[in-house]
Structure 1
Amino acid sequence: MALLPYAVSFIIAVLLTSLSYFLGSRIFTNGIAMWQAVVIGASVVSLGAIAEALGLPIWLIVLIPFPVGMLLLFLFLHQPLYIWFITYLIILAIYSLIHVIGSYFFEFHSLIPAWKLS
């Protein structure tokens, strides 16, 4: 895989993931700062990309980023557990919508840039 197209895909994936965390946190709470959303997005996408590069099974590639995103959101949000949980569900819904749109219209996998869409 060429480095520049992968880097662009990686940056787009981080930005889209960050956007879902930022918007999702603003719907139900005062939200997290944009820099916090970018930290979460970069962490989640990086872990997924590293897991994919190591050749881990698909279920593990998908599973590994979740606890990190959840923990970082909890730490940054400063809200009770039930509010964090509802906020996380909203974020997942927004992320899923972004992912479906990106996949359908742009043939772009917004979680793991190296994955090819069929």
Structure 2
Amino acid sequence: MNKNIVYSLVAVAGIILAGAMILKQNTHDQVDSNVKKPIMVDGKIPPQLSDLFADREQGPHQKYIDEKSCLACHKLEITIPGVGLVPKIPHEFRPDCVSCHFLPSRIM
């Protein structure tokens, strides 16, 4: 084969390989940007909310409904039979709990 053809084929293969790597890297970055990153609140990463009733898909902590649902249990420290001690929210109230806390159903 002619040396010019071989060099041309190697150059084209290199360009294709470099392009494929760039496209793969860009696709990986787009997927990562959709993943919710933990945020710091008062210098700490907020804890994940526990799955209180694993057998109930619509149980507490499975889906954020509204602030009244959260405050029903967490406005004051209370004890719920079968669940245990429910702590009072240890920080200033924020209207959207899932803006900081992960729900068990949202973990990937």
The question of a shared fold, defined as TM-score above 0.5 by the shorter chain, is answered with no
Structure with the largest fraction of helix: 1
Q: Which has the higher strand share?
A: 2
Larger Rg: 2
Q: TM-score range by the shorter chain?
A: under 0.3
Tell me which of the two structures has the higher relative contact order, counting C-alpha pairs closer than 8 angstroms and 6 or more residues apart: 1
TM-score (structure 1 length as normaliser) = 0.23
